[in-house]
Structure formats: C-alpha cells, structure tokens
Amino acid sequence: MELNELPTIEVELVKESKIASVDFNDLPFGKTFSDHMFIAEYYDGKWQSAKVQPYKEIALSPACNVFHYGQAIFEGLKAYYKADGSGIVLFRPEKNAARLNASAKRMSMPEVPVELFMDGIRHLLEVDNSFVPKQTGSSLYIRPFLIGTEPFIGVRSSDRYLFIIITGPTGAYYDEAISVLVYDSYVRSTKGGYGNAKAAGNYAGTLYPVKLAKEKGYKDVLWLDGEHKKYINEVGTMNIFFVIDGKLVTPETDGTILDGVTRDSVITIAKDLGIDVEERQISIDEIVDAYNAGKLTEIFGSGTAAVISPVNKFGYKEKDYPLDETKYVVAQKIKENLVGIQKCMLEDKFNWVTQVN
C-alpha cells in the first residue's frame, strides 16, 4: 500500500488524565491501561480511518466473526525509558509489525501497513508518555490486535476489521522462577496448524489444560509436539531454552512454535557471547536423560512480557525434576545483556533499539 493511501490519524484527547491514580510501585501485568487507545477501521478493501482516542469500550455487532469464528490476532511489545532518563525507546518493533502480518495472512485477514502500525504506536507514546514507567524492571506494554468485525454469521473471512492498540504500564510478568508441567495428552499446536501465528485461538485451547496444571501446583505448561507428543514445543507464552553440556538448545521454528522476538534476541546474544547454540528437535526423553546424567543445568523461557524467566522444575509422567535456578549462569548473563541493550545501558551493537521521543 502506498503511504499516501493511509488514513490521516485524528486525535481526540481525554478531558482528564487518570495518571494520578496509577501506583507505579505496584503494577501487576495487564491490569492498568493508559489514557488513550489507537483504533483503525478496514472495509471496502482498505484502511479507511485511524484515530487516537480516549481508552474506552467499543460497540460491536453480536454477529461479528471475532465472537463466533475467532478471527483475532495480536502482538506484544514494550517501550522503555532509557536508563539515563533521556528518552523512550522501542525494542525491535519492526519484527512485531512483520509478525502481525504473517499472522494476518495465516488467519485470512488483511495486512496492517507497517507505517500504520508504527504511527499508531508513536502517537500513543506521544500522548501517553507519562505512563511509561521509569522504575527498573518496569515498562510500557503495548498490545496491538486485529479482529474481524463484519456483522455476518456465515463461515468465511470477515470483510471488516478493527486494528486497535492499547497500552499500559507494567512490572514483571512472573516475579519468580516458574514450574512447568509436561503433558503427554493435551497439545497446543501441530504441523499444518497455526501454532506460529499469534492468534487468540492458540490460547483459548490451552486455558483448560493450564488450569488443570495450576491445580496440581505448576505455574504453566511446557507443551510437546502434537503428532508424537515427544518433542519439546514451547510454553505457550514463552519460547523455551535448555542448557545441556554447556550448550544452549532450543526447538527450531518448524511452524508449530511462535517465532519469538525475544527468542531470536537470546540466540543472537548467546552466539555473540561465544556460547554454542543449537536450534533443533529436542525430545522430552533427551531432556530427562540429560537431567539424570547431571548435564541439564538450566531451563528458561523467553518472551516480551516475561523477558527471561527461569524454570526451576518440570513435571513429566508423574515425576518432578527440580533444578536450582540460583545457579543459572547462562540465563543470567543473557538477561543482563538483553536488558542492558533494551534500557540503553549497553551498546546497541545489533541495531535493535528505536528511539521514539
């Protein structure tokens, strides 16, 4: 789409900011929202309008595709205050824009032009910059999403869509190491499915097995592949990494896992630090064997919300395999480097950081 075909962004500001009611020292993930949202409408085959407006409810026909057939995809990225307070930066936002469009293609939805995605975020950061936390470990979480909104309950792709961006200040996603349950029954994704799309439906199907895992005392689920229930997939909100014999090992992006921006950043940083990285199939049996041989020294997840999250126990076939996360050196080193680049405390040697204002 040509730049000049994009709608101009209208701006309607709140009458009164809610910033005074935000406790920046207590920010649970996903509960606090900034003053404004961005909303763009697609119909008649193109993006027709775009607006920054007060964060509020939206009215939709009960017949919309999103409510019945789940045309819904999303993204997640963060804006950070530079450690020296000199401005706000985004971390690799063009990767999120590209992935939104890859998800859109898979779910038969229209692409969101990268300029619209970036301009929407830039406008929100301008009007809501006071919502970007300055505290260490906190950031502004940005949630762009695209939904099918045609009022029609026949089964086909919607011909109307809304692209919306909401934002909110947030602290750490998991504040401590997590335990995960490995199922040999439920799966999240399979070859030919859409596990690599950031689609709402990928989550809906996992909520029940995750709830059962929580009832058993685990924090989350580490999924196996859909076909053999043998190969490691991912956590569902995070990609997964193992340190085996000093090597960093992670499942390859085979279409069944989400191609995480954090995953890619972890791999790049690890290689740069001289750590051997293997992207390949990893069976749960290999993990159990490595554990029993004392060769499995670390497990951690990676994702925008959680950044790097140590896993200190996995359960598989009624047996628990605990690990001491206080001894994780690889996870710690990679996290320091990643956060250092994100907060502009270290040289941005991979060109990952975009200053917005």
Ligand X SMILES: *Cc1c(COP(=O)(O)O)cnc(C)c1O
Say how far apart CA 66 and CA 99 lie, in whole Å: 20
Q: For residues 51 and 99, which CB has a smaller minimum distance to ligand X in the complex?
A: 99
Say if residues 226 and 187 touch (Cβ distance below 8 Å): yes
Residue of 314, 252, 318 whose CA lies nearest to 288: 314
Instruction: Enumerate residues 262-291 that contact ligand X by CB under 6 A.
Output: 262-263
How many helices, marked H, and strands, marked E, lie in the chain? 8, 17
Instruction: Enumerate residues 70-129 that contact ligand X by CB under 6 A.
Output: 76
Among 71, 101, 149, 239, binds ligand X (CB under 6 A): 239
**Tokens (6 digits) for 311:** 């896993």
Give the interface segment with ligand X, choosing from 49-57, 160-168, 234-242, 330-338 (CB under 6 A): 234-242
Q: For residues 197 and 287, which CB has a smaller minimum distance to ligand X in the complex?
A: 197
Instruction: Enumerate residues 299-318 that contact ligand X by CB under 6 A.
Output: 302-304
DSSP category for residue 316: E
Q: Is 274 left (phi over 0), alpha (psi -120 to 50) or beta?
A: left
Among 148, 260, 310, 315, binds ligand X (CB under 6 A): 260
We find the least distance from the C-beta atom of residue 5 to ligand X, in angstroms, to be 29
We find the least distance from the C-beta atom of residue 205 to ligand X, in angstroms, to be 12
Residue with tokens 């406790």: 23
256 touches ligand X (CB under 6 A):
no
Among 238, 269, 284, 344, binds ligand X (CB under 6 A): 238
Collapsing DSSP to helix, strand or coil, 176 comes out as: coil
Among 119, 150, 225, 234, binds ligand X (CB under 6 A): 234
Task: Calculate the dihedral angle through the C-alpha atoms of 263, 267, 268, 269, rounding to the nearest 10 degrees.
Answer: 100
The footprint of ligand X (CB under 6 A) covers 76, 198, 234, 236-239, 258, 260-263, 302-304
